[in-house]
């Protein structure tokens, strides 16, 4: 794990097709008041945003479904970055001002960049969150993220890096902040998209590079797996310790490939 200086954080507000550095939405915005916003997290490595087309397509689709915005109603672009910028960029489309039941008339587009210093460990730890969750919006990412944040906070308090989430039927869904993969009987698996799991871009990257079976899998059976890893734009691919389960060759190989392709630090 290497160490380097962290890029400064910045915020922009899209105004008339231009990114206005330092501007932010007012507290009257429903994204602030009610969490009525959709977002995507985009990795930035050495000034280069990754998987831009995939992220913006996912963002536009979420805005169309949850905010009833036509795909071309918002000019989507990215702020400019310097060669030393490494971190994550979150792009939010908010519902704008109004009551909780008003249609979205004047959405706002906000960008928040957070610098990341150094790299990440070779592996981390996980536990199953003790309370089941109900996915909202077909797994699309919204600003109402409190359930995931609380699950992650409690995992950290208990000494773990990640919380794994299950639904009320006991089926494994995801990690609080990412998608999850596991090896069962020599086969790489991930929770099925039929369970409204988040359509993560790194999830798709893994599925393009390795055969993956989508499954509905009980979290109580996790003791049967041989390895597990989590994926998101901040970490790339992160092998996990889970109980007696240790990081294995599939996760390590994909993590090394991600480092080579610069999707992970």
Report the distance separating Cα 50 and Cα 260, nearest Å.
14
Residue 262, pLDDT score: 82
Q: What is the DSSP letter of 8?
A: P
* Burial group, residue 46, by CB count within 10 angstroms (0-12, 13-18, 19+): exposed
Tell me what the pLDDT averaged over the chain comes to. Answer: 93
Q: Which regions in the chain score pLDDT beneath 50?
A: 1-3
Residue 6, pLDDT score: 82
Fold of 10-115: D-amino Acid Aminotransferase; Chain A, domain 1 (3.30.470)
Residue 3, pLDDT score: 43
Residue 81, pLDDT score: 95
Q: What is the DSSP letter of 264?
A: -
Residue 49, pLDDT score: 95
Sign of CA dihedral 166, 171, 175, 179: negative
Residue 72, pLDDT score: 63
| pTM of the predicted protein model | 0.92
Q: Where are the domains of the chain?
A: 10-115, 124-260
Write out the CATH class of domain 124-260.
alpha beta
Contacts of 100 (CB under 8 A, 6+ apart): 30, 34, 36
What percent of the chain clears pLDDT 70, i.e. is strictly above it? Answer: 95
Nearest to 208 by CA among 135, 261, 139: 261
**∠25-28-33 over CA atoms, to 5°?**
95
């Amino acid at each position: 794990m290497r160490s380097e200086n962290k890029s400064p954080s910045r915020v922009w507000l899209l105004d008339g097709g231009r990114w206005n550095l330092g501007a932010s939405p007012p507290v009257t915005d429903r994204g602030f008041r009610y969490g009525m916003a959709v977002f995507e997290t985009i990795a930035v490595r050495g000034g280069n945003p990754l998987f831009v087309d995939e992220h913006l397509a996912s963002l536009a689709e979420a805005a169309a479904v949850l905010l009833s915005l036509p795909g071309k109603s918002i000019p989507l672009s990215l702020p400019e970055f310097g060669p030393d910028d490494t971190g994550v960029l979150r792009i939010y489309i908010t519902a704008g001002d109004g009551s909780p039941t008003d249609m979205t008339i004047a959405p706002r587009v906000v960008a928040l960049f957070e610098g990341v210093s150094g790299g990440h460990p070779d592996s981390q730890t996980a536990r199953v969150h003790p309370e089941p969750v109900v996915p909202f919006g077909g797994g699309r990412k919204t600003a109402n993220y409190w359930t995931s944040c609380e699950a992650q906070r409690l995992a950290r308090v208990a000494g773990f890096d990640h919380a794994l989430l299950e639904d009320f039927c006991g089926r494994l869904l995801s990690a609080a902040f990412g998608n999850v993969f596991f090896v069962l009987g020599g086969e790489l698996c991930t929770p099925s998209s039929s369970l409204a799991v988040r359509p993560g871009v790194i999830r798709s990257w893994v599925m393009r590079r390795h055969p993956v079976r989508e499954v509905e899998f009980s979290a109580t059976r996790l003791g049967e797996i041989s390895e597990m890893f989590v994926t998101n734009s901040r970490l790339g691919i992160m092998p996990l310790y889970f109980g007696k389960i240790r990081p294995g060759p599939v996760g390590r190989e994909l993590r090394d490939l991600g480092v080579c392709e610069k999707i992970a630090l």
